[in-house]
Amino acid sequence: MDKFLKTLEKKDALILQNESLKKHCSFGIGGIAKLFIYCNNVKTLKLIHENFKKYYIIGYGTNVLFDDKKNKIPFVKLDGYFKKISFKGIYVTAGAGVNLFKLNCELKEKGLGGLEFTYGIPGSVGGAIFMNAGAFGQEIGNYVSSVKVFDGKKIFWTNSFQFFYRNSSFKKKNLIILSVKFKLFISNKEKIEKLQNKYFLQRKASQPYDKKSAGSVFKRIYFENKLIIPAKIIDNLGLKGVKINDAQVSEKHAGFIINNNNAKFKDVIKLILKIKKTVKNKAHINLEEEIVILKGKTNVHFGRLSYTHNI
């Protein structure tokens, strides 16, 4: 293993051993990753795939809850080459590791509109596409022209994909997203900036933006032909503000669970289960998590590949 790690370092990878996962997620919760690899190019990614039976690819960890225990499965973050942005007319190509804040700033300068609703989402392009991130009635998948992917054997561009609510065919097909080509439209800097600020202020006003969280915990669902917004149900059932140690249902937005200071994995899990049980018993609705939960033997692997969100 040491020999292989040295090979990765020669390929320009940054390898951290016994790295705290708290530093790599917005929840501020997590144990130790035995290996945390910053992958800077495609060759390194192929080597990682060839030498590890399982590995996680993560973005900025903004919708993931890590276990507090030590995780022996390597964590891989796409960096370097995967953070490039290029423009050609109304098309913009962004690497999977590009931060959405960074992308929005570049789009504003270029006068390209469409993705303003993503301003304020603190995640990566790869994760946003993988889970089809959305807000304010819009979804990022609507602006995707083609995607560069790795299927474990070859790397190729594809425009054969589908997007669903907080999901995509990339997840179902075990594909790692490397780059994304967006088709946008001509706008102007002032209009784009105005929209970006509008969405950002709406987020700050309605969400616990200054608290540690992983965003919306539960997906919206259809129940008896009606769209159910989990936050409203949770609020109506008197669960807003409920705590289990330092894990708390946000008093600002009942769809969020926040880490007040030193919340543990088990605290958040217990709170999620309490919410689901209460909603099931009193409203007869089964809630489904939107956040990705990584725990020991119950970790969700998509074949040999895992993508936690990456966003």
Question: Which is the catalytic residue, given 179, 213, 216, 306?
Answer: 216
Q: Confirm whether 304 is a catalytic residue.
A: no
If one compares 307 and 7, the residue with the highest pLDDT of the two is 7
pLDDT score for 226: 86
Encode pLDDT of 20-47 as tens digits.
999 999 999 999 999 999 999 999 999 9
Percent of the chain with pLDDT over 90: 82
d(Cα 175, Cα 80) in Å, to the nearest integer? Answer: 20
Q: Confirm whether 220 is a catalytic residue.
A: no
**Do the beta carbons of residue 173 and residue 226 sit within 8 Å?**
no
Residue 311: band (very low, low, confident or very high) from pLDDT cuts 50, 70, 90? very low
Encode pLDDT of 96-153 as tens digits.
999 999 999 999 999 999 999 999 998 999 999 999 998 888 999 999 999 999 999 9
What predicted TM-score, i.e. pTM, was given to this entire model? 0.89
Residue 296: band (very low, low, confident or very high) from pLDDT cuts 50, 70, 90? low
d(Cα 300, Cα 193) in Å, to the nearest integer? Answer: 38
Encode pLDDT of 43-83 as tens digits.
999 999 999 989 999 999 999 999 999 999 999 999 999 99
Instruction: Give me the residue spans of the domains in the chain.
Output: 2-80+296-307, 85-191, 218-289
Under CATH, to which class is 218-289 assigned?
A: alpha beta
Q: Confirm whether 251 is a catalytic residue.
A: no
SS3 state at 33: strand
Question: Which is the catalytic residue, given 166, 203, 220, 289?
Answer: 166
Question: Which is the catalytic residue, given 26, 168, 179, 290?
Answer: 290
Do the domains spanning 2-80+296-307 and 85-191 agree at the CATH topology level? no
**Do the beta carbons of residue 100 and residue 127 sit within 8 Å?**
no
For domain 85-191, is the CATH number 3.30.465.10? yes
CATH topology of domain 2-80+296-307: 3.30.43
